[in-house]
């Protein structure tokens, strides 16, 4: 934590606080054993700039020192003001607000506004925001034809990713990424349309007619209507389930520089439009180690089948034969994921309406045994956001393949906030990592008849 020091203005006599490193810059001293030269590199916010290492050379023809960090284990790729995580303490905050308070008091759209614009909206700002989001939910009729081209058993995430990318062709104005008005319009379009596309993918899967958005309903109420409305003239969402889904959306809205957000920023850094950026981010989310884990948790719980089989399953995970315990472990959290705690509580409220999902008992038993087991304790593996979310989604009536789409809908606001922050950051450029080349040196071409 950076220290602040009180200083006095000699002219006015006023006292004010300044960051300590402005007066006494913190530095890192490096001695290169190859050349015996000494370098001083500034430290800011607990980091050194990788480019400051480039000056460390053995001679004029040396490229200069680089860092090697596969999977970005210890590299910050940006400065951000959106989301704060303390993985050791299990803390998650959006724009400074603890996730627990936001989940208790806000709607998802209020949180999306906060994440995007930095402050909780006033009532007037919220009303305008909700109005705009509600009035951009329709998609072009050709989108329906586009979706009809998918097989009935196409994975909903495949349909979701492709259709979001296809939206780019409907909105060529989205290429004006440096135009503030255009950018805000695309942000509203994307947040509004992701539930519609997700619901259409679900209805297509079941061979049911698509349901158009209902502007009288809330963001999640309308989503439930587009999913589950049958012949009734007006769909009335169950308020407990509508709120539970809204809470799940709040919990999934952003999570700083995770795999898909890094993809969003990376594609965005080439100045591509936000529709294709979002499609790329959603593709990264699809993987089973990221947002696809919620689907895998359900498959795992079904495979285990009953509580008494849990010890045997844990044994297989530990020996490496049973794969990973899905929904457990996290790159950042080395403590209980705060989102998992809220989801566990929300599950109880949902089950009061839907009846208890029997898979919950297997999940609770898995958690109990894993948290007492040395293998998991030593590696600090705790339940993550995906461990309990799938059980709720199943109770709400979603097929397992649709779970990751339910993650992608709210994460769209986080991706867009990170994309916008990246675009407005003067330090950012096209993302382009370096490599350590370990392949062949130069060799001459060999004609095909002389190979092998």
Which range in 106-114, 230-238, 288-296, 428-436 contacts ligand CMC by CB under 6 A?
288-296
Identified catalytic residue from 140, 290, 361, 373: 290
Which range in 101-109, 133-141, 194-202, 321-329 contacts ligand CMC by CB under 6 A?
321-329
* Contact set for ligand CMC, span 160-199 (CB under 6 A): none
- The reply on whether position 23 binds ligand CMC by CB under 6 A is no
- Contact predicate 313/346, CB 8 Å: no
Which range in 114-122, 284-292, 359-367, 415-423 contacts ligand CMC by CB under 6 A?
284-292
Binder to ligand CMC among 290, 307, 334, 356 (CB under 6 A)?
290
How many residues interact with ligand CMC (rule CB under 6 A)?
20
- The reply on whether position 93 binds ligand CMC by CB under 6 A is no
Closer to ligand CMC by Cβ: residue 22 or 289: 289
Binder to ligand CMC among 217, 325, 405, 422 (CB under 6 A)?
325
Identified catalytic residue from 246, 254, 337, 386: 386
Asked whether the CA dihedral 261, 267, 270, 273 is positive or negative, the reply is negative
Closer to ligand CMC by Cβ: residue 85 or 227: 85
The CB-of-382 to ligand CMC minimum distance in angstroms stands at 10
The CB-of-409 to ligand CMC minimum distance in angstroms stands at 15
69 in active site: no
Closer to ligand CMC by Cβ: residue 158 or 322: 322
- The reply on whether position 291 binds ligand CMC by CB under 6 A is yes
The CB-of-428 to ligand CMC minimum distance in angstroms stands at 23
* Contact set for ligand CMC, span 245-264 (CB under 6 A): 255, 258
Residues paired with 374 in a beta bridge: none
330 in active site: yes
Which range in 61-69, 150-158, 187-195, 287-295 contacts ligand CMC by CB under 6 A?
287-295
Closer to ligand CMC by Cβ: residue 326 or 359: 326
The CB-of-50 to ligand CMC minimum distance in angstroms stands at 21
Closer to ligand CMC by Cβ: residue 202 or 376: 376
- Contact predicate 392/346, CB 8 Å: yes
d(CA 235, CA 115): 30
d(CA 44, CA 79): 11
The CB-of-232 to ligand CMC minimum distance in angstroms stands at 36
Draw the binding track, 326-355, toward ligand CMC (x: CB under 6 A; -: no contact). Answer: xxxxxx------------------------
Closer to ligand CMC by Cβ: residue 199 or 340: 340
Closer to ligand CMC by Cβ: residue 274 or 291: 291
140 in active site: no
The CB-of-281 to ligand CMC minimum distance in angstroms stands at 12
Q: What are the angstrom distances between the C-alpha of 242 and each of 114, 199, 303, 335, 343?
A: 21, 15, 30, 29, 14
The CB-of-104 to ligand CMC minimum distance in angstroms stands at 22
| Cβ neighbours of 433 (radius 10 Å) | 11
Draw the binding track, 361-400, toward ligand CMC (x: CB under 6 A; -: no contact). Answer: ------------------x-x--xxx--------------
Q: Enumerate binding residues for ligand CMC (CB under 6 A).
A: 255, 258, 289-291, 293, 317, 324-331, 379, 381, 384-386
Catalytic residues: 290, 330, 386
């Amino acid at each position: 934590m950076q220290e602040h020091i009180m200083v006095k203005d000699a002219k006015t006599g006023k006292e004010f606080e300044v960051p300590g490193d402005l007066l006494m810059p913190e530095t890192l001293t490096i001695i290169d054993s190859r050349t015996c030269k000494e370098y001083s590199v500034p430290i800011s916010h607990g980091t050194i700039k990788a480019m400051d290492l480039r000056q460390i050379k053995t001679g004029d023809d040396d490229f200069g020192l680089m860092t090697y960090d596969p999977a970005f284990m210890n590299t910050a790729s940006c400065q951000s003001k959106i989301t704060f995580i303390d993985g050791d303490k299990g803390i998650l905050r959006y724009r400074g607000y603890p996730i627990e308070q936001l989940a208790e008091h806000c709607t998802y759209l209020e949180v999306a506004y906060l994440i995007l614009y930095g402050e909780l909206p006033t009532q007037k700002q919220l009303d305008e925001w909700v109005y705009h989001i509600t009035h951009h939910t329709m998609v072009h009729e050709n989108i329906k034809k586009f979706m009809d081209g998918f097989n009935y058993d196409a994975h909903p995430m495949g349909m979701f990713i492709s259709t979001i990318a296809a939206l780019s062709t409907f909105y060529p104005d989205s290429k004006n990424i440096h135009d503030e008005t255009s950018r805000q319009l695309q942000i509203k379009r994307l947040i509004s349309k992701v539930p519609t596309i997700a619901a259409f993918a679900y209805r297509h899967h079941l061979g049911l007619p698509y349901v158009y958005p209902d502007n009288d309903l809330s963001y999640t109420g309308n989503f439930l209507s587009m999913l589950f409305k049958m012949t009734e003239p007006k769909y009335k969402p169950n308020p407990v389930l509508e709120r539970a889904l809204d809470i799940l959306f709040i919990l999934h809205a952003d999570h700083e520089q995770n795999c898909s957000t890094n993809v969003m920023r990376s594609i965005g850094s080439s100045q591509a439009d936000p529709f294709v950026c979002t499609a790329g981010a959603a593709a990264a989310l699809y993987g089973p180690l990221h947002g696809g884990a919620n689907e895998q948790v359900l498959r795992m719980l079904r495979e285990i089948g009953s509580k008494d089989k849990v010890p045997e399953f844990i044994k297989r995970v530990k020996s490496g034969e049973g794969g990973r315990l899905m929904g457990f472990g996290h790159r950042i959290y080395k403590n209980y994921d705060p989102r998992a705690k809220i989801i566990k509580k929300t599950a109880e409220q949902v089950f009061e309406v839907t009846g208890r999902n029997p898979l919950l008992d297997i999940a609770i038993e898995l958690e109990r045994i894993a948290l007492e087991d040395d293998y998991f304790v030593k590696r600090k593996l705790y339940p993550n956001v995906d461990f309990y979310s799938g059980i709720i989604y199943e109770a709400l009536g979603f097929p397992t393949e649709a779970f990751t789409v339910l993650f992608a809908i709210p994460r769209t606001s986080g991706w867009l906030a990170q994309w916008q922050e990246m675009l407005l950051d003067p330090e950012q450029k096209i993302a382009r990592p370096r490599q350590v080349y370990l392949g062949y040196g130069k060799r001459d071409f060999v004609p095909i008849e002389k190979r092998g």
